[in-house]
Each structure stands twice: as structure tokens, then as C-alpha cells.
């Protein structure tokens, strides 16, 4: 129906009609209670009631047995120490002169940028019969124990040389902005066709583990770990005896690929960077795209030069010469 | 009702001059001296009806009290009539009446403060007794009781599914167990998550054979995003003391009822603390950092080591990592034949071999969270660290292993009855006391005869 005019309203509103404005109809008895002079009384009553409930809730907590108390463990703030600690595990059976040159290569670089170095031997950790290459994992944990104030721990294999000492790794690679621009997202963790791909929405400041990929898979000959609780978890999980005894074909590097692919809390902290940023190969199965060492790359690695009948000192000789020349 | 000008023929001679003597004996306030021209009896009555809310005149004193008040009041002992008879307005009844009078007078004088007291008492009754149970809301709210911070995950159907069909006893056990937890969680405002743990082929490529605790806890964490602690319970458990809240019973007393150093009770002979020099001091410490807020997991130990029939985890990054690493295909492939307790054995293994776990685990004294019935752990059933003690009113009974040669249903039934008996309210105790008294006297008579 449609009316041409709205119905006429009375021009004289009923003088004392009930107030229809309020939605909830308050009974007069309650309204009387809420009058100003009684309001104080009501508020006091409610407060008193809540107070009693609270007091009753607080009772209990009776003590049995001896309460333990906090242990006194000195806490060092992460970031208060040197920004980077370089960890290289040394084989005590290797040629001492070569070992010395490797050590001084790292020490010179560290001195230049205010970093620290740590050179444990591969027989000082309880490996329980697993290959000596596993010792890199407790070595990093050890460095974290010794230098708890440092932020980054860079494991650099003894087969690698720092070729461009002027590049400071913590500004060149490890700042959140640099990491975000460099990291390879949505790429298979193990090339060429792993189902598990790196996350594509990671923030640079959430990254705790920076690693590279060569032609065959993850290359744990040079990687960086950020100090913290996650690092302990990651290293301990990696070092689990079950993986060491599992007879992975390539020991720790296959174990690493395994835990990265099966455990999301690890993959979520991992950043894959182009191989020549951290771990360029001078020889060996480099990543086809950007793995080969070129002049100006931070690191040159000679994977496997310490194995079989190969001689690292001989292979690295020309590179040592280049380093000597640039120094003078 | 018409509000139009007077329909009477002729109308009024002039405004304000008409008197109301012809309108039934009741003068209208609107009729005389009104400035309005259009007032009729009908309209005035209508308006006064609007004001009063009813039509016509209601005679006073029509109700029961109106009619009989006087009669009632004169028959009361305090009436004036009697007072006057007894002279000079002074009532000289017996002492008791005087006392009553004085009490009444005092109460009347103190009516304000008494009103507050009465109000508080009434509020208590409303808070605890009414079916809407305001106290549940109070206990649940994160501001006051904090009950929404706790979730109980109850595993139902364990080992069921394709392996074996449930009989009536199993159904009854499950029903009792679920009912018990439902009541408890409702009382304290916690959340209850009942999960189906039957063996099913849930994963496309493998039989994980109920290594699913981990996934279940994770799902619960996703489902209750504001909860902090998650308490895992097996089916064969019974909460004996529903009046204990988790906050009061466990979380306020953590420093008293837990131990961080496993050497306090170490049935598995786990080497602790770790001594490898490459580990940091906190990991090497026997008690972690020794602070309450570093506890992310609470587990009890029975005579055979860790017991995952009743344990708690807290939402934290540590827990995320633990739940992530707990199930691993390599571990599963190598050990699933050997680890017959599945997650429990896997966790024991991880506790021993992955140092990062130790600083965040606290062991809770077994009887605080999970007492054993006499059948479990030793034949005597009287170990004060393990077995249920009625006089201590233990919180929960875990009938662990009752499916191996013990009667689960009988145990469940007995503990349910015991719990009900221990938690009778005073009225029930009184009634039972009377019936016991008569039974006893009957027995005595029988003995005599």
C-alpha cells in the first residue's frame, strides 16, 4: 500500500507517557537502585564482592618440597662482541705449512674487519666413529660457547681461501636488506627437482642460516649461522647420532639436505644465496649459473682438495700468488 | 476515540465557562480553565487515560491487603491497640519478645550496611549457584581466572580402528573418561579437545601407526590460538579431584613440585648434566637457567622412565621446533620396530641426544599429575612416589597399561566411585552419615542375635 501523505501526528505529545527511548526496559525497582544516592552503595557492594572473590582465589599455593631457584649463568647479549667469528676446522694430520697459510689467510681478513677466528681440530669432538667432516657442527657450537657476544658465525672449510679481503661479509652479505635482495626464493632445495622449495616470503632479519647451492645440492663448505636459540636447535638436530650413523652418502651435507627438507622450522630460517657470494668454486661441481669463481668474489673453494691423493697446497698455489701480489 | 471538536449540537457558549457537573461527578483538570478550545470530556478522559495508563477509575484498596490490612495489622502482637491496653505505650511482654524487638530495631537502624552485606551474599549465590554460572565466565576470562589459557587434549580411541573393535567395556571407559574431563574443563573454563587416535592410513605413502601425538598437538595449537598450555591425557585417566584448578595445583607451585635435574629421579640412568666442552653453560647446567619461565614442557617419570600419558607443553618457539623435529623419517625408519612406545621413546632418545632440549624440560613429581593404580609399576602398589594415596587426595589417576592383563573398566569404575565419595558435598555427607549409622546399628543387632 502506498499513502500519498504520511499519517498525521498529534501536535500535542502525551505529557507523561513512558520514555520509549531506552531499549532495555529497566524495572522501576532496579531504576530506584541505580539512583544517584544509592549508586555509591551498589558500587561499594560490587567492589566488595569482587574483592572477596579475589581473596578467596588467592589462597592456596601451599609449599611442599624444596623450591628450586634460578641458576647463576652469566648472560652475554648477542651483538656485544665481534660481529663475525670465522670457524675453520683444521686437520692436524695435514701439512703444517699449508695449515699455517690457511690460518693466516683468515686471520688477516679478520684483523682487517674486526672479526675473530677460531681453529679447532677435527679430533677434539666426540664423533663416535662418524666421518671427521662432521666435526664442523660441534665446532660452531663450540665457537658460540666461547664467543657468546658475537652475532654471526661463518664456517669456512679449510679447502677455501678468502680471495677478496676488502669485502666485509657482515655488510656485504649479512644485512637484512642485502639478504632480502640476494636470496633465491621458491627454488628447489636440492637441484634440479626437489619438491621442497625455499620459502618466498621471508624477511631478511628473520634469517638465521645463509648457505649456497652447488650443482649437486647444498654446499656446507661455507655458510653463516646467526647466534641464538635457533642455532643451538639447528646444530644439535643436525648432529643427532641417528644421522651420523645413517650412512648418508655424503655424510653431513646429505644430513643437512634431509633436515632442511623435512623440517619446516629449519627451512623457514634458511636463505639460499648465489654461490659466488659466499662459496665460489675454483674447481669442482659449481652451480652452472653463478658458481664459478671469478675475480672479485669473496671466496674461492677447492672442494675435496684435501681428500684422496689431491694436494690442496699445490692446487691453491696460483691463488696464493694472486693474494700475495694484491697485498703488496 | 474522537478528538474532533464537540459533536454536541450547539456547542459551548464560550470557552472556559462550561462546568463539569454533567460529567459524572468527577472534575477534570483539563475541563476547567483550560486554554484549549477543543476540550471535550471524551478527549480529556482519553488524555488522562494516557497518563495513567489505564482506563476509568480504579477504586482504592481493592487488593487483598487493601481490604484486609487493618484486620491483619490489628491482629499482630505489635499493634497499637494492644499497646494502649498495656498502658503508656510501653510494651512489657516477656524478655524474649523484648530482645527480638531490640534486634529488629538495631537491624532497622543498620539497614544500610546490612543491605550491602545482604547484597554481597546474594551476589555470591548468583555467582556460584545459578545455572548460568557466572563463575565459569569469571574463571575462563583471561583477566581474572585465565582458564582459557589451558587446553586439555584427550586421546580417544587409542589403538582402535583397524587393529581391534571396541567392545561395550571400551565404550564405557571412554564415555566415563570423556565425561570426567568435560565436567572438569567446564568447571574451570578450560577447553577440551577430544581427538580420535584410531589407527588409520592418514598419510598417503606410509603407515605412521599413531605417531600422531605431534600432529594432534599442533592442530590443537592452531585451533586455540590464545591458549598457552596444552595438557595431553590418555583415555585411561581419571581426574579424581575436580576441585583442583591447574593454576593452583600446578602452575603456581612449579618450583615446588617439579625438578629440572633428572638426577633427582632417574630410572633410565640418563647422564646428566652434559659435560661436552663445546656446549654452552646453560645447556651444560643441570637445571637449565633455573627460571620458571624457561619451562616449556612438563613431563612425569614413572618407574620405567618418561611417561607421555599425561604431560604438558607450552606454546613457544621451542615447542614448535620440538614438535617439528619429533617425527623424522630417518628416526622412524631406523627405530620404529625398536621404539614400541613411539613418541615416548623418540622423546627419550631426543632428550639424551639433542642437548638443546634439556634446558627447557622440567620433570613433575609423578603423583602431582598422574598417580598410578596399584597394578602398575611394581606389585605392592605402595610406592609413595608412584601410587595413588587416598589420604593425600591425588589429582589424577592414570591406569597406564591396564589393557595388558588388568581390568580397565573395573579400575575406572572403582576410581570414579572413590572420587565421587571423596568429593561429596556436606549435605550428601550428612545423608550418607545417617544411612551409615543405621546400617551399622543393624549390623550390630545382627551380630548380637
pLDDT tens-digit readout, B282-313? 999 988 888 889 999 999 999 888 999 899 99
Q: What is the pLDDT of residue B224?
A: 95
Positive/negative CA dihedral, B8, B12, B16, B18: negative
| Predicted confidence band of residue A3 (pLDDT cuts 50, 70, 90) | low
How many Cβ atoms are within 10 Å of B287's Cβ, its own excluded?
A: 21
Residues 352-381 of B with CB under 8 A from A: 353-357, 365
- Whether residue A231 is predicted with pLDDT greater than 90 in this model: the reply is yes
Greater confidence (B89 vs B327) lies with: B327
CA distance A120 to A327: 27
pLDDT in tens, B318-367: 999 999 998 888 877 777 777 877 788 889 999 999 999 999 999 999 99
- B47 touching A, CB under 8 A? yes
- Find the residue in A nearest to B286 (Cα): A71
- Whether residue A5 is predicted with pLDDT greater than 80 in this model: the reply is no
A31-40, A310-319, B114-123, B181-190: segment of lowest average pLDDT: A31-40
| Predicted confidence band of residue B54 (pLDDT cuts 50, 70, 90) | low
| Predicted confidence band of residue B204 (pLDDT cuts 50, 70, 90) | very low
| Predicted confidence band of residue B27 (pLDDT cuts 50, 70, 90) | very low
Choose, out of B278, B321, B338, B393, the residue to mutate when testing the contact with A (most A CBs < 10 Å).
Answer: B278
**Interchain proximity A71–B285, CB inside 8 Å:** yes
Q: Closest Cα of chain A to B75: distance in Å? A: 30
| Predicted confidence band of residue B7 (pLDDT cuts 50, 70, 90) | very low
> Distances from the Cα of B365 to the Cαs of A29, A71, A219, B260, B300, in angstroms?
55, 20, 46, 11, 6
**Interchain proximity B123–A233, CB inside 8 Å:** no
CA distance B319 to B336: 23
Q: Which of B252, B257, B328 is closest, CB to CB, to A65?
A: B257
Q: Model ipTM? A: 0.79
> Residues of B with CB below 8 A from A42's CB?
119
Taking the domain A84-327, which CATH number applies?
Answer: 3.90.550.10
pLDDT in tens, A237-251: 999 998 888 878 888
User: What mean pLDDT is predicted for residues A245-264?
Assistant: 88
Q: Closest Cα of chain A to B286: distance in Å? A: 9
> Residues of A with CB below 8 A from B138's CB?
53
- B120 touching A, CB under 8 A? yes
- B448 touching A, CB under 8 A? no
- Find the residue in A nearest to B125 (Cα): A49
- Whether residue B412 is predicted with pLDDT greater than 60 in this model: the reply is yes
**Interchain proximity A144–B280, CB inside 8 Å:** yes
- Whether residue B6 is predicted with pLDDT greater than 90 in this model: the reply is no
Q: Which of B116, B283, B329 is closest, CB to CB, to A41?
A: B116
**Interchain proximity A241–B353, CB inside 8 Å:** yes
CA distance B296 to B287: 13
- Residue in this structure with the C-alpha cell 548380637, named with its chain if needed: B448
- Find the residue in A nearest to B357 (Cα): A233
No. of helices (H) and no. of strands (E), chain A = 13, 9
3-class SS letters over A172-241 = HCCCHHHHHHHCCCCCECCCCCCCCECCCCCCHHHCCEEEEECCCCEEEEEEEEECCHHHHHHHHHHCCH
Closest CA to A156 of A67, A285, A279: A279
CA distance A156 to A212: 12
**Interchain proximity B335–A145, CB inside 8 Å:** no
Q: Which of A64, A73, A141 is closest, CB to CB, to B282?
A: A73
| Predicted confidence band of residue B220 (pLDDT cuts 50, 70, 90) | very high
User: What mean pLDDT is predicted for residues B417-426?
Assistant: 91
> Residues of B with CB below 8 A from A144's CB?
280
pLDDT in tens, A147-162: 999 999 999 999 999 9
- Mark B370-383 as b/e (b = at least 16 C-beta within 10 Å): bbbbbbbbeeeeee
- Residue in this structure with the C-alpha cell 649456497, named with its chain if needed: A212
Greater confidence (B349 vs A66) lies with: B349
- B84 touching A, CB under 8 A? no
- Whether residue B18 is predicted with pLDDT greater than 50 in this model: the reply is no
Q: What is the pLDDT of residue B117?
A: 85
Q: What is the pLDDT of residue B26?
A: 45
Q: Which of A126, A263, A265 is closest, CB to CB, to B276?
A: A126
- B288 touching A, CB under 8 A? yes
A18-32, A78-92, A182-196, B342-356: segment of lowest average pLDDT: A18-32
User: What mean pLDDT is predicted for residues A88-112?
Assistant: 93
**Interchain proximity A242–B353, CB inside 8 Å:** yes
- B50 touching A, CB under 8 A? yes
Positive/negative CA dihedral, B211, B217, B220, B222: negative
Q: Closest Cα of chain B to A90: distance in Å? A: 16
Q: What is the pLDDT of residue A64?
A: 53
Q: What is the pLDDT of residue B318?
A: 95
A122 touches A94 (CB < 8 A): no
Q: Which of B127, B279, B330 is closest, CB to CB, to A141?
A: B279
Q: Which of A60, A65, A144 is closest, CB to CB, to B248?
A: A60
**Interchain proximity A65–B256, CB inside 8 Å:** yes
Q: Closest Cα of chain A to B70: distance in Å? A: 26
Q: What is the pLDDT of residue B398?
A: 92
**Interchain proximity B51–A64, CB inside 8 Å:** no
What are the phi and psi torsion angles at B19 (to 5°)?
A: -100, 170
- Residue in this structure with the C-alpha cell 628450586, named with its chain if needed: A68
Closest CA to A234 of A268, A280, A200, A279: A268
> Residues of A with CB below 8 A from B3's CB?
10
CA distance A67 to B382: 26
Q: Closest Cα of chain B to A317: distance in Å? A: 34
Strand extents, DSSP E, chain A: 84-87, 116-118, 152-156, 160-162, 209-213, 218-226, 270-272, 280-281, 299-301
- Whether residue B128 is predicted with pLDDT greater than 90 in this model: the reply is no
Q: Is B102 exposed, middle or buried (0-12, 13-18, 19+ CB in 10 A)?
A: exposed
- Whether residue B87 is predicted with pLDDT greater than 50 in this model: the reply is no
Q: What is the pLDDT of residue B4?
A: 47
- B430 touching A, CB under 8 A? no
| Predicted confidence band of residue A145 (pLDDT cuts 50, 70, 90) | very high
> Residues of A with CB below 8 A from B328's CB?
242, 259, 262-263
Task: Look at the pTM and tell me if it is higher than 0.80.
Answer: no
pLDDT in tens, A22-56: 556 666 766 766 666 777 777 888 888 888 877 77
Amino acid at each position: 500500500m502506498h499513502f500519498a501523505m504520511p499519517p498525521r501526528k498529534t501536535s500535542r505529545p502525551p505529557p507523561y507517557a513512558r520514555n520509549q527511548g531506552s531499549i532495555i526496559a529497566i524495572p522501576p525497582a532496579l531504576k530506584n537502585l541505580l539512583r544517584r544516592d544509592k549508586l555509591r552503595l551498589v558500587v561499594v557492594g560490587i567492589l566488595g564482592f569482587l574483592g572477596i572473590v579475589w581473596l578467596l582465589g588467592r589462597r592456596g599455593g601451599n609449599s611442599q618440597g624444596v623450591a628450586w631457584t634460578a641458576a647463576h649463568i652469566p648472560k652475554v647479549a648477542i651483538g656485544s662482541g665481534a660481529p663475525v667469528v670465522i670457524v675453520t676446522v683444521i686437520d692436524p694430520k695435514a701439512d703444517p705449512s699449508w695449515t699455517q697459510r690457511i690460518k693466516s689467510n683468515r686471520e688477516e681478513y679478520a684483523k682487517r674487519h674486526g672479526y675473530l677466528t677460531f681453529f679447532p681440530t677435527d679430533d677434539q669432538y666426540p664423533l663416535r666413529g662418524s666421518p671427521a667432516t662432521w666435526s664442523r657442527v660441534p665446532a660452531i657450537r663450540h665457537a658460540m660457547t666461547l664467543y657468546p657476544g658475537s652475532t654471526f658465525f661463518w664456517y669456512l672449510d679449510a679447502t677455501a681461501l678468502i680471495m677478496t679481503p676488502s669485502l666485509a661479509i657482515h655488510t656485504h652479505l649479512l644485512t637484512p636488506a642485502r639478504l632480502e635482495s640476494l636470496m633465491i626464493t621458491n627454488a628447489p632445495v636440492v637441484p634440479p627437482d626437489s619438491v621442497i622449495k625455499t620459502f618466498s616470503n621471508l624477511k631478511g632479519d628473520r634469517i638465521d642460516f645463509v648457505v649456497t647451492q652447488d650443482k649437486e645440492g647444498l654446499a656446507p663448505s661455507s655458510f653463516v649461522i646467526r647466534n641464538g636459540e635457533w642455532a643451538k636447535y639447528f646444530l644439535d638436530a643436525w648432529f643427532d647420532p641417528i644421522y651420523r650413523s645413517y650412512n648418508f652418502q655424503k655424510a653431513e651435507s646429505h644430513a643437512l639436505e634431509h633436515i632442511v627438507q623435512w623440517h619446516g622450522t629449519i627451512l623457514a630460517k634458511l636463505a639460499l644465496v648465489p654461490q659466488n657470494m659466499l662459496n665460489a668454486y675454483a674447481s669442482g661441481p659449481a652451480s652452472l649459473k653463478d658458481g664459478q669463481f671469478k675475480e672479485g668474489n669473496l671466496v674461492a673453494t677447492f672442494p675435496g682438495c684435501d681428500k684422496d691423493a689431491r694436494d690442496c697446497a699445490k692446487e691453491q698455489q696460483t691463488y696464493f700468488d694472486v693474494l700475495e701480489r694484491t697485498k703488496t | 476515540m474522537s478528538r474532533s471538536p464537540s459533536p454536541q449540537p450547539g456547542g459551548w457558549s464560550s470557552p472556559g465557562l462550561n462546568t463539569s457537573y454533567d460529567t459524572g461527578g468527577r472534575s477534570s483538570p483539563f475541563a476547567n480553565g483550560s486554554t484549549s478550545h477543543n476540550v471535550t470530556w471524551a478527549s480529556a478522559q482519553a488524555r488522562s487515560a494516557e497518563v495513567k495508563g489505564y482506563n476509568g477509575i480504579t477504586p482504592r484498596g481493592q487488593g487483598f491487603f487493601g481490604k484486609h490490612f487493618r484486620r491483619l495489622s490489628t491482629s499482630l502482637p505489635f499493634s497499637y491497640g494492644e499497646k494502649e491496653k498495656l498502658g503508656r505505650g510501653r510494651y512489657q511482654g516477656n524478655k524474649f519478645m523484648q530482645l527480638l524487638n531490640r534486634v529488629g530495631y538495631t537491624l532497622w537502624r543498620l539497614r544500610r550496611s546490612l543491605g550491602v552485606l545482604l547484597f554481597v551474599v546474594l551476589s555470591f549465590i548468583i555467582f556460584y549457584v545459578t545455572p548460568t554460572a557466572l563463575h565459569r565466565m569469571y574463571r575462563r576470562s583471561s583477566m581474572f581466572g585465565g582458564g582459557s589459557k589451558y587446553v586439555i587434549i584427550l586421546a580417544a580411541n587409542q589403538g582402535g580402528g583397524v587393529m581391534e573393535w571396541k567392545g561395550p567395556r571400551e565404550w564405557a571407559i571412554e564415555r566415563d573418561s570423556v565425561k570426567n574431563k568435560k565436567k572438569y574443563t567446564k568447571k574451570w573454563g578450560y577447553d577440551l579437545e577430544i581427538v580420535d587416535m584410531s589407527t588409520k592410513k592418514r598419510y598417503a605413502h606410509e603407515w605412521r601407526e599413531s605417531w600422531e601425538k605431534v600432529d594432534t598437538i599442533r592442530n590443537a595449537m592452531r585451533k586455540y590460538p590464545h591458549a598457552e598450555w596444552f595438557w595431553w591425557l590418555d583415555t585411561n585417566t581419571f581426574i579424581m579431584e575436580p576441585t583442583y584448578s591447574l593454576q593452583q595445583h600446578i602452575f603456581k607451585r612449579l618450583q615446588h613440585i617439579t625438578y629440572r635435574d633428572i638426577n633427582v629421579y632417574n630410572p633410565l640412568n640418563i647422564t646428566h648434566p652434559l659435560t661436552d666442552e663445546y656446549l654452552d653453560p646453560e645447556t651444560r647446567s643441570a637445571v637449565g637457567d633455573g627460571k620458571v619461565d624457561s619451562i616449556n614442557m612438563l613431563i612425569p617419570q614413572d618407574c620405567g622412565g618418561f611417561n607421555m600419558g599425561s604431560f604438558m607443553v607450552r606454546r613457544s618457539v621451542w615447542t614448535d621446533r620440538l614438535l617439528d623435529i619429533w617425527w623424522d623419517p630417518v628416526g622412524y625408519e631406523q627405530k620404529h620396530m625398536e621404539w614400541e612406545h613411539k613418541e615416548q621413546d623418540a622423546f627419550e632418545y631426543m632428550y639424551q641426544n639433542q642437548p638443546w632440549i634439556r634446558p627447557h624440560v622440567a620433570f613433575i613429581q609423578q603423583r602431582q599429575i598422574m598417580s598410578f593404580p596399584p597394578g602398575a609399576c611394581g606389585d605392592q602398589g605402595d610406592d609413595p612416589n608412584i601410587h595413588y594415596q587416598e589420604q593425600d587426595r591425588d589429582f589424577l589417576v592414570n591406569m597406564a597399561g591396564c589393557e595388558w592383563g588388568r581390568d580397565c573398566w573395573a579400575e575406572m569404575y572403582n576410581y570414579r566411585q572413590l572420587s565421587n565419595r571423596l568429593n561429596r558435598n556436606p549435605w550428601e555427607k550428612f545423608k550418607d552419615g545417617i544411612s551409615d549409622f543405621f546400617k551399622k546399628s543393624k549390623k550390630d543387632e545382627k551380630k548380637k542375635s
